A and B are shown apart, each in its own frame.
Chain A
């Protein structure tokens, strides 16, 4: 049911080919799968295991280590409010409290209409702009309570659908290595000597 579709299989094979060992592509492929389905399903893990040549248990092992992978549906918008030190010092606790009231769910919960999942997050690397939050990994800085209300309203009305994609989509731009420009993966067994430019002469 939730195996990768044709187009995504093509992308997946492209990604796998960049690595000396196929298993290295696992995290990018899990993202691809989450992008397609909104969360990671059992079937998806079986399929990814087939693609990179490991068991689905190994895929599960890797996937469950990382916070961004979800194994059950979440809201269309995942609202992560940072609660680590800088944000906490600048009022993240109050912001979370306000958010819980506004959305009517506790941190970790999803609204009844399936639009929002509210979550507590750890440091988001925007500490000078505290308190911060991310909606599907898109930043909002120095968030006040009224900023939060406006953000939720804009998300509901679809005003931000251009900037903020549905949960699962992280980067919308993919790396594409043109066939005629790429060197190809350098596996340990493929390179047995120093690269050609290490011959003691300048490259240019």
Chain B
């Protein structure tokens, strides 16, 4: 059962001298074992929660405003409260299908502290009256699956999961489920479809929340791994201690992965709401600047789906209420940095390719539009695109997300600021995500795209063609 210990950990986490809510055990090489977990305060939060009335625990989580860490940032406590009162059973589905480009945190949490996640799941089930939990891990994460399976086996044997947990009347099963490779399954209704054994296509909305109608048509809470990993600490230390970190609207900490052209890329647990992008990119305790001391060209602030930012937005804090109006989103805490040497059209193409490839095919604008965008952009990058192609990209995009488009530099470009999110013609965000980064790249760096276009050679029109001569003579 301990074979997984020999294999290399997920690397990239940088501890730093900051408060730690979800990564406190990462310093230990054996952080994923039950032994280490118990010796570092493990399952104390569960014990504390079970010593209180379930609704009290729910209130505590609500007052701590634990924002969802999956992308939308919806407060977990509020989400739990959206389930209808008299419909049973209710389910918990844990979203561990981390696959947003640039995002790297849930895998760390599952590989290096699986018991913390299990404890979080149990607290959520207890507080919100959820009868069974399904822990959905991305298919490609073999080590995370092994670590969580080992942890669950240990926890079952030790009486932390299953029947009469810790000898109480609280009983819940956590079922480890794993996917098989599909980005769109990260969308909560697609995740539920996949968990039901179907093709992972998002469900029609409304109902907008699976809390009303989810797994097997029952009320279902879908929470991100990092969101649940916050709960044990919250239970032990209380909501006041939790809200004392960060800001009022974004309390606690967040895990953020900074990758790309920085000196020291890494995953950091940062203080929510106050840490700025400048701190992250240039701060000595974080990435320590752009590689080779190059100029910053652009960066993706919140995962592959987010419109891009430039140096103008560096001083924005990690706070949804400020990043949204500036025309982008914090998403899943993924920053990708591009320095002055970056070929912008080629960089944009990697994302466009990703979304075209990952479209599930349910909505026409995304299925066809995404592929069109990729093909047209490929032409441009390869140097065979025309001015009409560039125009066509914007037209195809407008069919996926019509209307004004949110954009970081709108004001600077003399346009009206449009806050995120945008209008869309698809069921889920995969469609708009194919266009959002590309649109911002074209707006910010249009000249780079234009430089790639085939130049028309202008031929002076002097000679009259034979045809017109014939026509004239008749």
Which one, B189-197, B227-235, B464-472, is touching chain A?
B189-197
Q: Which residues of A contact B54 (CB under 8 A)?
A: 197-198, 203
Q: Report yes or no: B336 in contact with A128, Cβ–Cβ below 8 A.
A: no
B458 interface residue (CB < 8 Å to A): no
B261 interface residue (CB < 8 Å to A): yes
Q: Report yes or no: B197 in contact with A25, Cβ–Cβ below 8 A.
A: yes
| Residues 38-58 of B at the A interface (beta carbon under 8 Å) | 47, 50-55
Q: Which residues of A contact B389 (CB under 8 A)?
A: none
Closest Cβ neighbor of A18 among chain B residues = B175
Q: Report yes or no: A173 in contact with B157, Cβ–Cβ below 8 A.
A: no
Q: Report yes or no: A127 in contact with B146, Cβ–Cβ below 8 A.
A: no
Q: Which residues of B contact A68 (CB under 8 A)?
A: 139-140, 180-181
> Secondary structure of the A side of the interface?
loop
Closest Cβ neighbor of B145 among chain A residues = A171
Q: Report yes or no: A31 in contact with B260, Cβ–Cβ below 8 A.
A: no
A176 interface residue (CB < 8 Å to B): yes
Q: Report yes or no: A65 in contact with B182, Cβ–Cβ below 8 A.
A: yes
What is the interface residue range for chain A against chain B? 35 or more
A188 interface residue (CB < 8 Å to B): yes
Closest Cβ neighbor of A130 among chain B residues = B259
Closest Cβ neighbor of A30 among chain B residues = B180
A19 interface residue (CB < 8 Å to B): yes
Q: Which residues of B contact A163 (CB under 8 A)?
A: 6-7
Measured between C-beta atoms, what is the minimum distance from A191 to chain B in Å?
A: 4
Chain A CB within 10 A, most for which of B6, B107, B175 = B175
A186 interface residue (CB < 8 Å to B): yes
Closest Cβ neighbor of A201 among chain B residues = B53
Query: Given A175-B152, A200-B53, A84 and B101 touching (CB < 8 A)?
Result: yes
A67 interface residue (CB < 8 Å to B): yes
Contact with B along A3-43 (1 / 0, CB 8 A): 00000000000000011110111111011000000000000
Q: Report yes or no: B50 in contact with A181, Cβ–Cβ below 8 A.
A: no
A112 interface residue (CB < 8 Å to B): no
B149 interface residue (CB < 8 Å to A): yes
Cα–Cα, bound, A27→B196 (Å): 9
Q: Report yes or no: A139 in contact with B173, Cβ–Cβ below 8 A.
A: no
Measured between C-beta atoms, what is the minimum distance from B148 to chain A in Å?
A: 8
Total B residues in contact with A, Cβ cutoff 8 Å: 103
Q: Report yes or no: A128 in contact with B257, Cβ–Cβ below 8 A.
A: yes
| Residues 48-62 of A at the B interface (beta carbon under 8 Å) | 52, 54, 61-62
Q: Which residues of B contact A185 (CB under 8 A)?
A: 132, 173
Q: Report yes or no: B180 in contact with A173, Cβ–Cβ below 8 A.
A: no
Q: Which residues of B contact A90 (CB under 8 A)?
A: 259-261
Pick the contact of B173: A24, A25, A126, A177 (CB < 8 A).
A177
Q: Which residues of A contact B342 (CB under 8 A)?
A: 89
Q: Which residues of A contact B350 (CB under 8 A)?
A: 83-85, 88
Contact with B along A132-147 (1 / 0, CB 8 A): 0010111101000000
Q: Report yes or no: A173 in contact with B300, Cβ–Cβ below 8 A.
A: no
| Residues 150-201 of A at the B interface (beta carbon under 8 Å) | 163, 170-178, 180-188, 190-198, 200-201
Query: Given A123-B100, A130-B259, A194 and B129 touching (CB < 8 A)?
Result: yes
Cα–Cα, bound, A181→B246 (Å): 40
A204 interface residue (CB < 8 Å to B): yes
Cα–Cα, bound, A180→B194 (Å): 29
Closest Cβ neighbor of A34 among chain B residues = B180
B347 interface residue (CB < 8 Å to A): yes
Which one, B74-82, B159-167, B321-329, B406-414, is touching chain A?
B159-167
Closest Cβ neighbor of B194 among chain A residues = A27
Q: Report yes or no: B351 in contact with A85, Cβ–Cβ below 8 A.
A: yes
B200 interface residue (CB < 8 Å to A): yes
Q: Report yes or no: B354 in contact with A123, Cβ–Cβ below 8 A.
A: yes
Cα–Cα, bound, A146→B129 (Å): 54
Measured between C-beta atoms, what is the minimum distance from A59 to chain B in Å?
A: 9
| Residues 1-38 of B at the A interface (beta carbon under 8 Å) | 1, 3-4, 6-8, 10-12
Pick the contact of A126: B10, B130, B183 (CB < 8 A).
B10
A122 interface residue (CB < 8 Å to B): yes
Measured between C-beta atoms, what is the minimum distance from B58 to chain A in Å?
A: 10
Pick the contact of B199: A65, A138, A182 (CB < 8 A).
A65
| Residues 151-189 of B at the A interface (beta carbon under 8 Å) | 152-153, 156-157, 159, 161-163, 165-173, 175-183
Q: Report yes or no: B347 in contact with A88, Cβ–Cβ below 8 A.
A: yes
A125 interface residue (CB < 8 Å to B): yes
Q: Which residues of A contact B198 (CB under 8 A)?
A: 23, 61-62
Cα–Cα, bound, A123→B102 (Å): 7
| Residues 193-215 of B at the A interface (beta carbon under 8 Å) | 194-201
Measured between C-beta atoms, what is the minimum distance from A94 to chain B in Å?
A: 13
Closest Cβ neighbor of B135 among chain A residues = A175
Cα–Cα, bound, A27→B150 (Å): 20
Q: Report yes or no: A27 in contact with B258, Cβ–Cβ below 8 A.
A: no
A124 interface residue (CB < 8 Å to B): yes
Cα–Cα, bound, A129→B257 (Å): 10
Q: Report yes or no: A62 in contact with B107, Cβ–Cβ below 8 A.
A: no
Q: Report yes or no: B142 in contact with A137, Cβ–Cβ below 8 A.
A: yes
Q: Report yes or no: A139 in contact with B197, Cβ–Cβ below 8 A.
A: no
| Residues 109-156 of B at the A interface (beta carbon under 8 Å) | 126, 129-132, 138-143, 145-146, 149-150, 152-153, 156
Q: Which residues of B contact A177 (CB under 8 A)?
A: 156, 162, 173
Task: Pick the 10 closest A-B CB pairs, nearest first.
Answer: A67-B181, A66-B180, A26-B197, A23-B197, A171-B145, A191-B89, A181-B162, A127-B259, A203-B168, A65-B199
Q: A31-B178, A163-B6 are in contact. List 18 more A-B contacts (CB 8 A).
A: A27-B139, A27-B177, A68-B180, A84-B350, A85-B351, A86-B102, A123-B103, A125-B99, A138-B143, A171-B149, A171-B178, A173-B1, A173-B146, A175-B149, A177-B156, A177-B162, A181-B159, A200-B55
Q: Offer 27 A-B interface pairs, CB within 8 angstroms, sorted by A.
A: A21-B197, A23-B196, A24-B196, A26-B197, A65-B200, A68-B180, A85-B102, A85-B354, A124-B140, A125-B138, A127-B334, A128-B267, A130-B259, A137-B142, A175-B152, A181-B156, A181-B162, A183-B162, A185-B132, A186-B91, A191-B88, A195-B88, A195-B129, A197-B129, A198-B129, A203-B170, A204-B50
